[in-house]
Amino acid sequence: MRGITRRALFAGSAVGAAGALLPTAGPAVAGPRKARASYRPGYHFTVPEQWKNDPQRPVWIDGSYHYYYLHNADYLAGEIGTAWRLATSTDLVSFTDRGVAVPKDTTPGGDVWSGSAVVDTHDTAGFGAGAVVVLATMSPHDGPADQAQYLYYSTDGGRTFTPHGTDPVLPNPGVRDFRDPKVIRDEERGRWVMTLAENDKVGFYHSADLKSWTYVSGFVRGGIGVLECPDLFRIRAGDGTPKWVLGVSANGKGAGLPNTYAYWTGSFDGSAFTADATDPQWLDYGWDWYGAVTFDKRGTDGTLDEATRYAIGWLNNWDYAHITPTIDSDGFNGTDSIVREITLKRGGDGRYFLASRPVATLDGYVSRTVTLGDLEVEGTRLLDYRGTAYELTCEITWDQLTGAGVQLRRSPDGVRHIDAGVHRDYAYLNRRPTVSPDMTGRWQESHSPFDPGRRAVRLRILVDRTSVEMFVDDGRYVHSSAAFPYLVDTGLALFTVEGKAVFRNTVIREFRV
């Protein structure tokens, strides 16, 4: 995806929407600065200063994950364009900033957009065994048919990169939208495979050396907007069945679908992908899990887990990307979802699907646990808990009712809150009653399917200062949305609609990262 980051006039809209309860600061200046209150999330990854958007697929190098992301150090000055900034982590919860790895505006290509990094173990490109190679989109003249793929390489373990000349390794053939290369190694056939976003198509390409690419096939899917940030991987299901998964970031809102990560399970013969079904499934049903990437799960010794992958997404949406109080309170605009563990399961209908759960290493950062046990609720029950960053888990059971859920970040008078739960035949996350970045009012409540005949639902909800991520029934469905509640809105309540329920094994955990 492109790294457009012009601030324009949007920040004032966020402050106006939230009123005087948002933190106030002086004139916008580069870098972090003190403010009376902070909107910086407590346990989610955020850019140290200025701007971030797309995550780039992390790679395992020398015992740690190298996480690159699109970063603009000139955001507050109003200048557009992104570089690749690097953070490293051994547990995908705590990250160490390493600064800019792939700079922008150092070649005629200009700034660097999305792509992918690979470790060239066998020295296929000629930069040395173990060199880290980046393929990324650049657009020298910023034209719709000017997008092409360029190569950078690193011989210092992925810390700094050098451009491989100034010409693209995959020029644009004269088409609109030609970007976001994702490269994987096909060891069985001794070659590299690239997926590329080409408007409503994912193109497949082969290369022996990462420098010369040949088109071999395409996967076309219309009706969900321009496809971006393709993803291709193999994963083994819990029943032992191996499947290939093709994913894309897509905006399906016009068709009543999510604007997140669409995916298909199927087969891949090294050249073409064949989907099990025409319609995609969605890895997230909220409004703000875009530009997401999945990546290998590695053991401490580097061994690959074939049954689990990790995933991370940008907790934002291009419809309102620049509307955030964080830029005025803390000097940054850019937050990611929690890293998730992705597994492949088979549903009762025989269809395979991806399930998500927060990364297990998050458990090692628990600083406080509040165990509330089983709570009977009819109507609204206000809990004796206050917080802005925590995890809530429970199982809700009932005999007969219309809906049940939780009110998160509830205001002292009960007027403002974020609602999460189930209602009749759908699960939902609703940010309408709080401060939402969506100024149109159209994209406030997200829905996913739910079977009311089960009369039970398991919820695991991650709340942070500017986001909510709800995992329904062990991550079969997930909703991620940005929201900016007033910092004084710290209450928590349970509720039911037209009936009684028991919130079983209700536990709150706080984290210190």
C-alpha 361: how far from its chain's center? 18
The pLDDT tens digits of the residues spanning 215-266 come to 999 999 999 999 999 999 999 999 999 999 999 999 999 999 999 999 999 9
Q: Which residue(s) pair with 380 in the sheet?
A: 495
Per the CB < 8 A criterion, the answer to whether 453 and 425 are in contact is no
> How many helices and strands in the chain, by DSSP H and E?
2, 32
**Is the pLDDT confidence value at 25 over 60?**
no
* pTM (2 d.p.): 0.94
The pLDDT tens digits of the residues spanning 309-337 come to 999 999 999 999 999 999 999 999 999 99
DSSP β-ladder status, 304-314 and 290-298: antiparallel
Mean pLDDT throughout 174-201?
96
For this structure, is 231 an active site residue?
no
pLDDT at position 20 = 28
**Is the pLDDT confidence value at 455 over 50?**
yes
pLDDT at position 87 = 98
Residue 3 pLDDT grade (very low, low, confident, very high; cuts 50, 70, 90):
low
Q: What is the DSSP string of 225-266?
A: -S-EEEEEEEEE-TTS-EEEEEEEE---GGGT--SSEEEEEE
Which residue among the candidates 54, 284, 319, 438 is catalytic per the annotation? 54
pLDDT at position 10 = 33
* CA gap 427, 417 in Å, rounded: 17
* CA gap 188, 1 in Å, rounded: 30
**Is the pLDDT confidence value at 389 over 80?**
yes
Stretch among 16-20, 275-279, 508-512 having the lowest mean pLDDT:
16-20
Distance (Å) of CA 149 to CA 113, 414, 416, 422? 10, 52, 47, 44
The pLDDT tens digits of the residues spanning 333-372 come to 999 999 999 999 999 999 999 999 999 999 999 999 999 9
DSSP designation for 92:
S
Q: Which residues contact 394 (CB under 8 A, 6 or more apart)?
A: 406, 458, 459, 503, 504, 505, 506, 507
The pLDDT tens digits of the residues spanning 260-283 come to 999 999 999 999 999 999 999 999
pLDDT at position 142 = 78
Q: Which residues contact 309 (CB under 8 A, 6 or more apart)?
A: 233, 235, 294, 295, 296, 297, 341, 342
Sheet holding 352-358, edge to edge: 290-298, 304-314, 340-346, 352-358
* CA gap 41, 482 in Å, rounded: 11
DSSP designation for 338:
P
Residue written as token pair 């990611």: 336
DSSP designation for 335:
B
Element housing 15 (H / E): helix 11-18
Count of CB atoms situated within 10 Å of the CB of 3: 23
Count of CB atoms situated within 10 Å of the CB of 301: 6
Residue 1 pLDDT grade (very low, low, confident, very high; cuts 50, 70, 90):
confident
